[in-house]
Amino acid sequence: MNLNDAEVMERIHNDLIDNLDEELELELEDNHLDSLSGNDANRSKEYRRIYFKELFRLQAELVKLQDWVAATGHKVVIIFEGRDAAGKGGVIKRITQRLNPRICRVAALPAPNERERTQWYFQRYVSHLPAAGEMVLFDRSWYNRAGVERVMGFCDDAQYEEFFRSVPDFERMLVRSGIQVIKYWFSISDEEQHLRFLGRAHDPLKQWKLSPMDLESRRRWELYTKAKEVMLERTHIDEAPWHIVEAVDKKKARLNCIHHLLNQMSYEEIKRPIIELPQREHHDDYVRQPVPPSMFVPEVY
What is the mean pLDDT of the segment spanning 148-164?
97
Q: Which pLDDT score is estimated for 56?
A: 93
DSSP category for residue 86: S
> What phi and psi, each to the nearest 5 degrees, are found at residue 82?
155, 175
Question: Buried b vs exposed e over 260-299: b needs ≥16 C-beta within 10 Å?
Answer: ebeeebebeeeeeeeeeeeeeeeeeeeeeeeeeeeeeeee
pLDDT, tens digit (0-9, with 9 covering 90-100), for 37-76: 545 546 678 888 899 999 999 999 999 999 999 999 999 9
What is the mean pLDDT of the segment spanning 186-196?
93
Residue 81 has pLDDT above 80, yes or no: yes
DSSP category for residue 103: T
∠ Cα 60 244 97 (to 5°) = 25
Q: Which pLDDT score is estimated for 2?
A: 58
What is the identity of the amino acid at 138?
Answer: F
Instruction: Please give the model's pTM, rounded to 2 decimal places.
Output: 0.88
Tell me the pLDDT of the chain averaged across its residues: 91
pLDDT, tens digit (0-9, with 9 covering 90-100), for 251-282: 999 999 999 999 999 999 999 899 998 999 99
Closest CA to 84 of 154, 151, 171: 151
SS (HEC) of 165-178 = HHHHHHHHHHHHCC
Question: Buried b vs exposed e over 152-188: b needs ≥16 C-beta within 10 Å?
Answer: eeebeeeeeeebeeebbebbeebeeeebbbbbbbbbb
**Band of the pLDDT at 77, cuts 50, 70, 90?**
very high
Residue 156 has pLDDT above 90, yes or no: yes
